Structure 1
Amino acid sequence: MNTLFASLMPLFDLLPRHVCLLLCEGEDWQVEAHTTSFASLTQRLEADCTPRGLLLRHWLTRHSAGQFVPDTPGGQLDLWLANSPWHLAWRPTGPDQRCILLWEDVENIDMQAMESFSQELFAITNHMHDGLWVIDGQGITLHVNEALRRIAAIDPQEMIGKSVSIPLNEGKFSAAVTLEALEQKKIITRFDDYPNGSRCLNTSTPIFDKQGNVWRVVACIRDISELEYLQRGLADAERLGYLQGKAGDFYHDDEDRLIATSTIMRRCMSGLDRAAKSPSGILILGETGTGKTYAASWIHQRSNRADGPFIAVNCAAIPPSLIESELFGYDKGAFTGASRNGRKGYFELADKGTLLLDEIGELPLNMQAKILHVLDGQGFRKIGGEKEIRVDVRIIAATNRSLDQLVNEGRFRADLYYRLRVLSIQMPPLREHPEDIVPLMMFFLGRTCRRYKISKTFSPKVIECFCRHPWPGNVRELKAAVEFLASMSEGSLISLRDLPSYLMGGMKDVRLSEEEVDTRQSCGENDGKGCQASVYGNTSAAAQEDGAPGPPAGGFRQAVEELERSLISRALRETGSTYKAAARLGISQSTVVRKARQLGVRLHEIKTGNGKTGDVAAAGSDNAP
């Protein structure tokens, strides 16, 4: 290396900043010495670039849109670097050494191109869906994009050149996340509330200079309310797709359909399929409401007796004195009051088909012996009849009782039990296959809506509540709950407020929706005070001042709305600020704004405590914190 030339580099640093002088070696122009102006140029193009040792020819080619830099002396080469025109010339200074002069053509910089690039960058940021807020190292706002106008009702032009603490003190947002990132010198992510009711997720990222100081802070602000709306839509679409994909598992007609999406129910359905192919009798066991009747109908529809009758008899509903005549029939004149033509019993009516004896554990012992006789292939005689009747009927027995225990107690014949249990199926309780709760809900809701010609849907919280409920009454209880909610709920969305109290037990540790939390907070649940204390305590005076005539005739819900209206109106009137009102009520500022709009409280005309009319909705109010 030419040591004399290199020793003169500090002197060459007196050259203008747009002129660079370098000493290079080798055909790739490896930089051995350079002026500080060249170091500044490399930092403009590559923040982490080290000039010394740089292969200059490759570096110039890469940053000049692939323009080739020839290794031939003489002449002048025009380049485009850092969005401006540059020129390069060089001469050899020794064996395999070169002195290179690189200078920027400051007189011919295309200001129109620079302006075009600036406008392009400005247009890109203003068309971003998320909000963008940029401050410098002193907390001064440099740029706010147009998305903040939509998200938070903030005029970007009003923010430019101001310290970010000014709109914070004016109440335009609840937290200056950019200032936190500036002070802590790290990425900060935090929720932020705005006066128009928007709740956003703000991620502020600091950018550092070479000395490690914060040069800029860039905040990306996303409207969470839009995200939650999209998530609900996605969840509804996924749930619909799931149910459509499982359409093959929703069997039989609308009245005798079995839902089998869980593993345990699929296993149970497999057992029912095998039982349908068998000609012998079947015993179906399970708790009340698990679908034993539907299972028996399923077996009948898939057996070779599907064209014959299916008759279901609830043995517990027939008085003991009539059970024999109901099951086996009677001849004319069999007893006083009997039909003159006699009557067929259920066994005879079910000939060539299937007879379901539900709650068989309730049968008297003498009837159990007669049924065992029929099961063994023997005939029976009607009451008052002499002719033996033989029928071709398949018997399916069902019970929610423990037949083992009844046998031990002598209340059920052991021989009949042993005859029935050869082919037995256990219907699982709903708590053992909760995966089927949502499909069952959708099925029963759809059937009820078609029946009453209405349109209803469940909120996600209601679905979560149903999934947490233990359902001691199993599918029967679930069906009744869905039909009740579909018939009695107001509006098209079934929400938590529509649920009866016994179904809310599973939601004690579940986060409620913001609207439902707000309702409970306004009733004082957060500080341990109940609604009764609020209504009949200090707030009753506020209600009288606002003209509320006590509990309205509309019922509890309207009473809650009147209470909320009076609480919010009084808090806004006395504080003159949505933030101060929110602090007094113990809820978020965005909730105050949204509730006021829902309840018809006119924010722009609330009288402040000093008698002035103030815009409490505007964050820049003189009374804002």
Structure 2
Amino acid sequence: MSSIDRYSEYFQEYLRSLSKDTYIDILEHCFAEITVTDAEGYVIYANPASLQYHGMSSEDMCKLNFFTSFNGLWTPPSVDYAIENKRTVFARQRYLMTNETHITITTPIYDKNENLVMVVFTSFKEKPINSFDLDCEKNESSEKAKYSSSEETKESNNIVGRSYNLYATLNKLRKGAKSDIPVLLLGESGVGKSLFAKYIHDSSLRSDKPFVSINCASIPDNLIESELFGYVPYAFTGASPKGKKGLVELADGGTLFLDEIGELQPNIQVKLLDFLENQRFTSVGGLEIKTVDTRIITATNKNLQKLVQKNKFREDLFWRINGITQTIPSLRDRRSDILPIAQYYLDKHNKKYDKDKMFASPVIEALIQYDWPGNVRQLKNAVEYMAVMSIGNIVSTDKLPEQILDFLKKNQTKKKTVIFDDMVEEYKREIIQSYYKSYSNVNEMASALGLSQATAYRLVSKYVDKGSKKEKSKESKE
């Protein structure tokens, strides 16, 4: 029985009269993620929403076995259940790589002899839309904004990606945001430390208060003190007769983000340390001691411990700002985020200039292979450059920036092929090792991940090194 036999002959004839392009356009413009596999699990179609979520090109997606590549990563599993029961299964599933909850619909399709022909997967996040163009229910409560979900806060701060490394970072920062403990963000230039600082603020109880940011490297040494702590009228030559509030005071009740803190001079470090210890300060030229309630987040791309050893950064200040330390992963350490980020900036360009540009498949491969020493900042600039320089709607490889073309030429003989299955293997390894450390035995770990005990033991045997097993065995005996 054909799937359209349920309709009248008239309507069946109408459906058959529609062109293939019509059906393709419908699928391509569907908001939900749609993935179709053959009976063995190999992908035969994935719409743009699915490709963007998984961070893959269409060519790589169609080489993927959807059944095996994600085995153990979705809980509870739905494919075997749907095939065994020969019916559509509606499920609320958690994706363990990102900890996102999805509503999934798994539909096995059979021929007239009841042989499995294909499986259709439809999926969308449990809260897929954060804002509406038109809304019948206006939420006037400020509490929703104050306690917004992690994903909403992430997207509102333009943090794009779904890699395990990214979500592990956000999870740690979200937990730290709930207290006033100082946070030190480390990482290479261009990874977006300021975005993560804003994410912390927006995830905190101070989210409705000011967020004030300053790049310590951009302010001359003779002005940084007055910028931070303000000054009284006529405090120095050229000072305003009205005086000026400093950023520490402007951020009262909220958060002050000090980027490139490693550039601060020793005299400012002393005053900042006193402020952190006592939440008090005096303005330049003043005698009055002022008290504020300001949380401090700091960031640097320098090795502060080496600066401490060289007496260029105070050790007491280092330990004071080092309440929670988090290194923001570089782009090459989360390659599965490259395509979503690139697509995000291309979409912004299209919206701003009313264009409809898209990446050619070889461009996607090149972007994923490149190491991005300038990280997200460099990727953003590269996408904008390619979008401007491309004439038609297709962004082709000849419009790649020179440094990427040079990289590809040098690496043709030792070309790095990014295989999605390898990336998934690495994510599985990280998840299993993390959960193995967190639980006292494999049975508890299996229960937490929604796995059978046999599967859990097999994954531990595959991904956990012998040294870790011996150490856990020793701990359990003690």
Q: Which range, TM-score by smaller chain?
A: 0.5 to 0.7
What is the DSSP-based 3-state SS (H/G/I as helix, E as strand, rest coil) of the residue aligned with 1:336? coil
1:389/1:415 CA distance change after superposition, 3 Å: same
Match of 1:301 in 2: 202
Check whether the contact 1:250–1:257 (CA below 8 A) recurs between aligned residues.
no
- Measure, in 2, the Cα distance between the counterparts of 1:445 and 1:372: 43
Distance 1:409 1:278 in 2: 32
Q: Kindly provide the amino acid, as one letter, of the partner of residue 390 in structure 2.
A: S
Aligned partners of 1:233 and 1:502: how far apart in 2?
A: 34
Matched, 1:318 2:130: no
CA distance in 1 between counterparts of 2:300 and 2:272 reads: 16
Find the counterpart in structure 1 of residue 51 from structure 2.
Answer: 239
Q: Is the 8 A contact 1:284 1:292 kept in 2?
A: yes
Deviation of 1:448 (Å): 2.1
**How far apart in 2 are the matches of 1:399 and 1:241?**
31
State the match for 1:336 in structure 2.
Answer: 237
1:462 to 363, 369, 386: 363
- Do the aligned partners of 1:468 and 1:506 also contact (CA within 8 Å) in 2? no
Hey, what's the Cα distance between the residues in 1 that align with 2:263 and 2:273? 15
2:425 maps to 1:425: no
Moved more, 274-283 or 299-308: 274-283
Alignment of 1:335-484 (within 5 A): 335-484=236-385
Q: Deviations over 1:299-354 (max 9, x none)?
A: 00010100111011000000001111111000101112111110011101111110
Give me the whole-angstrom Cα distance separating, in 2, the residues matched to 1:357 and 1:241: 33
1:503 pairs with 2:404: yes
Q: CA deviation at 1:290?
A: 0.9
Q: Quick one: distance in 1 between partners of 2:167 and 2:348?
A: 23
Question: How far did residue 377 of structure 1 move?
Answer: 1.9
Report the Cα offset of residue 378 of structure 1.
Answer: 3.9
CA distances 1:145-196 after superposition (whole Å, capped 9, x unpaired):
xxxxxxxxxxxxxxxxxxxxxxxxxxxxxxxxxxxxxxxxxxxxxxxxxxxx
Q: Secondary structure at the match of 1:376?
A: helix
Other structure's SS at 2:220 match: coil
Aligned residue-pair number: 281
What is the 5 A alignment of 1:145-224?
Answer: none
* Deviation readout 1:425-444 (Å, 9 max, x if unpaired): 11011111101101111111
1:442 partner letter: Q
CA distance in 2, matches of 1:322, 1:458: 46
**Distance of 2:48 and 2:405 partners within structure 1:** 22
Q: Which residue in the other structure is 1:51 paired with?
A: none
Q: What root-mean-square deviation, in Å, do the aligned CA atoms of Structure 1 and Structure 2 show?
A: 2.3
Q: Distance in 1 between matches of 2:391 and 2:156?
A: 26
Are the counterparts in 1 of residues 154 and 160 from structure 2 also a CA contact under 8 Å?
no
Greater C-alpha radius of gyration:
1
Measured after TM superposition, the shift of residue 253 of structure 1 is: 7.6
Shift in Å, 1:451? 2.2
Runs of 4+ in 1 over 6 A off after TM superposition: none
Query: 1:452: how far off?
Result: 2.4
Alignment of 1:48-197 (within 5 A): none
SS in structure 2 of the partner of residue 257 of structure 1 = coil
| SS of equivalent residue, structure 2 residue 371 | coil
Give the TM-score taking structure 2 as reference length.
0.56
State how far apart, in whole Å, the 1-side matches of 2:201 and 2:46 are: 40
User: How far, CA to CA, are the matches of 2:174 and 2:364 in structure 1?
Assistant: 31
Contact 1:250 1:258 in 2 (8 A): no
Q: Deviations over 1:227-266 (max 9, x none)?
A: xxxx998574641464784668864487722124111111
Structure 2: distance between partners of 1:420 and 1:510:
45
Paired AA for residue 308 in structure 2: V
From the superposition, tell whether residues 262 and 311 of structure 1 become closer, same or farther in structure 2 (CA, over 3 Å). Answer: same
Amino acid at match of 2:163: S
1:252–1:422 Cα change, 3 Å = closer
TM-score (norm 1): 0.43
Tell me the SS of whatever aligns to 1:424: strand
